[in-house]
Amino acid sequence: MNAKLTQVLWLTQEKDVLAEIASLLGVPEANTKTPGWFGVRMKAMGNIIERMSPEERAELEKERERISQEGHLEDVRRKYVRCRPA
């Protein structure tokens, strides 16, 4: 798996991304049901990455590399994989 930095950011800092989305939309708070959230999601993540310190960016890159090599942690896989009836 070749993980993207923005994917890792969403998985590890979803609350921060949603807060940035709220800021961009001019609303007090946002979630994945907020109208227009998806259209500004990439901009929000870009803003967060741009403001990161070199150390924070290095940690995010390290996690991206880990996910690329090992895959997502079990709890993340469970969250995004739908169960199919037997």
Cα atoms in the 13 Å half-sphere on the side-chain side of 30:
24
Q: Which has the higher per-residue pLDDT, 68 or 39?
A: 39
With a CB cutoff of 8 Å and minimum separation 6, the contacts of 9 are 17, 45, 48, 49, 60
- Report if residue 62 sits inside a domain: yes
The pLDDT assigned to 82 comes to 55
- Report if residue 58 sits inside a domain: yes
Q: Is the confidence at residue 2, as pLDDT, over 90?
A: no
Mean pLDDT, the chain, integer: 87
Q: Is the confidence at residue 80, as pLDDT, over 60?
A: no
Q: Report, as an integer, the average pLDDT of 30-44.
A: 97
Domain count, the chain: 1
- Report if residue 86 sits inside a domain: no
The pLDDT assigned to 72 comes to 58
Q: Is the confidence at residue 84, as pLDDT, over 90?
A: no
- Report if residue 85 sits inside a domain: no
- Report if residue 42 sits inside a domain: yes
Domain with 55 in it? 5-80
Tokens (6 digits) for 44: 């929000």
